[in-house]
Structure 1
Amino acid sequence: MKRVIIHQFSPNDTEIVYADDYLTLTPQLDEYFRKKLTKVFSDDAMRGQFSDENVFVSYLTDDLMETSHRIAEVWKEEFVISENQKTNDLIFTQFDRDGQEYFGFLRVALKENLAHITGDSQSPIKLTQNILPSAATAPDEALLINRVNKQYYLIEKRIKHNGSFENYFSENLLQVQPEQSVKKSIKLVEQTAQKIADNFNQDDFAFQSKMKSAIFKNLEEDQELSPEKLADQLFDQNLTARLTFVDELKEAIPEPIQVKDIDHSRQIKKLENQKLSLSNGIELVVPNNIYQDAESVEFIQNSDGTYSILIKNIQDIQMK
């Protein structure tokens, strides 16, 4: 963290209260803002790259104070139409990541809560509207820009205006069309694969586990998710299914989904185990590396259409 400045938007008069100096960064505050930034470099972020002609990029200068005033004003012009406004801290920061300088803009809606205020023994409990959310929560909105290559990371919330919801941040303020987040992309891949498998009568528990294993392996080993590569792995015996899968994803995911630059541990955690719920009430949680090992687990389809699961080479059993 290099510099941080915080302005505040008040919904009462829709004006911005500007700070006149940079924030003194104590170790506790430094940790708070670092955690907030970490939440942006995540699978929830939409990514993209600004063009040299983009108007918003022209607002960025070497003077963070000047930049923050300019961006706060243009942000307010777009945000002021939203309904049910709250008091918001507008946090602007300069920081380094992997040796490159970044600009950060975070919008954090303040909470209304009770606080113990000393000095009034009869009414020490008062309602305050300036409570910051915990460091563990993501900012309400955020924009982080690599000042070297103009790549950006965006977390956006739609605002309600005249009964409809608008992506005011990306469409109006930034004038960009970001890639959808890794989280949404993986969900779309899963839904599309299941749809194709169902159309070709492949959608059973074996396909579900195969899909989960393939996505997990691609994310962990290749640090990317390629529709073409997944098609080859999931529909290796059916050319039509492979082509259909890729075709249905090409508009939303025209290029392989890269995850090297973000924290995708949540997706890895979700995919690292196969969770099976059996018709007799038994539930199994099997790590992927064991699930795919025939020397550890074997799935047997009986002549009557039922399944048997053989778990092999168990050295020890413990109750949990």
Structure 2
Amino acid sequence: MDIYLKQAILQVVDRELGAPIYSQQPLDLTNGNTRDYLTNKIKKLSSAQSKTGVIRQGSEVANQLLNIASDFTGVSQQLVDKWYQAYQKSDDAPSADVFIALYEQDTQAYVAFLKVNYHEAYTHYVNAEEGPLTNQLIIHQSILSNKTQKADEGFAINLQTLGFELIEKQYTFSGDKRPYLSTEVIESEPQPSLEENVRVVKKAAEKIGAKFEVAKHDIVANVKEAIYETIEAKGEINTQDVAAKVFKDNVSAQTEFKAAMVEKAPADAPISPAVREIAEKKYGKQKLKLSNGIELIVPIDVYQNPDLFEFINHPDGTMSVEIKNVDEVISRL
């Protein structure tokens, strides 16, 4: 995913100071550290936790974005101001820095909103003002997360299609803990994230599996395999394929599972290429914890191959796991 940054600006939102401190000048993007930081934060807006949707035409945000290329500094301030009007009402939302970035990805224009919360961190301070030089230990109250971590909240909007990816948190408003970024800032209801859809699929499969007396570990393993295979093949969680994989020849269980999916989750929603790549890595391995304390991480292709990996059921109700055709064992500390 190649990102070409065109403009970016940093706005300071220290809640102890009151209103945001708005920068009158964009960031210097000739600075490699600044480019790396923003590029990595933007890339991490695509994740298994990202929600997707489309900004409503004619909404306040959609109208603001019409002028962002010609008045980047002014429009970025408008976006942050709209966000802050909602954010400041929270009882527990922390201080943060907000980055607005205008960029191109695959020849398409995007704008990103990145909120990075403050953290405490220790550092040294050299005091040479009075008396002998003294090295002291102090706490910085407004340290930002490093570039390898995703923003605490944010969204990226395609300026042509108004499609968006969004990561949001819940904060307390008048005693009620709830999200606010989608409902009050971009005012667009997103589709559930991949992670939310997988959670619904897994819960429904476990419930139906228990009814039809299918072992729970088989259900979870089959769900993970099915999700991996359907995302790899079709770029979405296809409930028909998941039902067939998880419940195999049990037509009644498949029918109940499909009905549950229609009722509970739009699981057939397309997945973006970036999230698809993340999902294939995330769900491409089976993670097993045995009752004797042994833990295994098994690639899907190995798990599916009986010449390499097999569960063996015994008459007394116990089972064994056989790992076959291993040429070498590497032990790591």
TM-score, normalized by length of structure 2? 0.86
Matched, 1:31 2:36: yes
1:144 is displaced (CA, Å) by: 0.7
Tell me which amino acid in the other structure corresponds to 1:115: T
Look up the match of 1:151: 163
Which whole-Å deviations, capped at 9, do the CAs of 1:188-235 have from their partners, x for residues lacking one? Answer: 211211111111111343333222222222223332211222112222
Q: Give the secondary-structure state (helix, strand or coil) at the position aligned to 2:134.
A: coil
Q: How large is the RMSD of aligned CA atoms in angstroms?
A: 2.4
Provide the rounded CA distance (Å) in 2 between the counterparts of 1:176 and 1:10.
27
The CA deviation at 1:310 is: 4.3
The 1:36–1:276 alpha-carbon spacing in structure 2 relative to 1, beyond 3 Å, is: closer
The more displaced of 116-125 and 58-67 is 116-125
Q: After superposition, where does 1:228-267 map in structure 2 within 5 Å? A: 228-254=240-266, 256-264=268-276, 267=279
The Cα offsets for residues 246-284 of structure 1, whole Å up to 9 and x where unpaired, read as: 222224432514333333555434433334444455544
Deviates more, 1:37-46 or 1:255-264: 255-264
Does 1:15 find its partner at 2:27? no
Using the TM superposition, name which of 264-273 and 163-172 deviates more: 264-273
Query: Which residues of 2 match residues 169-180 of structure 1 at below 5 A?
Result: 169-180=181-192
CA contact (8 A) 1:274 1:285 kept: yes
Query: Aligned-pair distance for 1:118?
Result: 3.8
Structure 1 residues 11 and 244: CA distance shift in structure 2, 3 A: same
Q: How far apart, CA to CA, are the structure 1 residues paired with 2:221 and 2:145?
A: 38
Higher deviation after alignment, 241-250 or 134-143? 241-250
Offset at 1:93? 0.7
Structure 1's 279 and 259: CA in aligned 2 closer, same or farther, altered over 3 A? same
2:94 and 2:327 map into 1 onto residues whose CA distance is 58
TM-aligned CA distance change 1:204 to 1:22, over 3 Å: closer
Change (3 A) 1:150 1:118: same
Aligned counterparts of 2:321 and 2:13: Cα–Cα separation in 1: 60
2:144 is aligned with 1:132: yes
The residue number in structure 2 matching 1:54 is 59
Aligned length: 320
**How far apart in 2 are the matches of 1:299 and 1:181?**
33
3-state SS, counterpart of residue 155 of structure 2: strand
SS at match of 2:213: coil
Q: Which amino acid aligns with 2:203?
A: Q
* CA drift at 1:311: 4.0
* Seq. identity, %: 26
Instruction: Tell me how far apart the structure 2 counterparts of residues 279 and 252 of structure 1 sit (CA, whole Å).
Output: 32
- Deviations 1:83-122 (Å, cap 9, x if unpaired)? 2353321211101111101011111122233333345333
Match of residue 307 from structure 1: 319
From the superposition, tell whether residues 202 and 19 of structure 1 become closer, same or farther in structure 2 (CA, over 3 Å). Answer: same
2:15 matches 1:5: no
Q: Secondary structure at the match of 1:33?
A: helix
Cα pair 1:41 1:261 within 8 Å, conserved? no
Q: What's the offset of the Cα at 1:46?
A: 0.8
1:99 maps onto 2:126 in alignment: no
Contact kept, 8 Å, 1:88 with 1:109, in 2: the verdict is yes
Moved more, 45-54 or 143-152: 45-54
Say whether 1:40 aligns with 2:52: no
Residue 72 of structure 1 and its aligned partner are, at CA, apart by 1.7
**SS of 2:99 mapped into structure 1:** strand
> Does the aligned pair in 1 maintain the 2:87–2:93 contact within 8 Å?
no
CA contact (8 A) 1:225 1:257 kept: yes
Matches within 5 A, 1:205-244: 205-244=217-256
In structure 2, the gaps of 5 or more residues are: none
TM-score by structure 1 length? Answer: 0.90
AA aligned to 1:10 is D
The code of the aligned residue for 2:303 comes to Y
Paired letter, 1:300:
I
Partner of 2:260, secondary structure, is helix
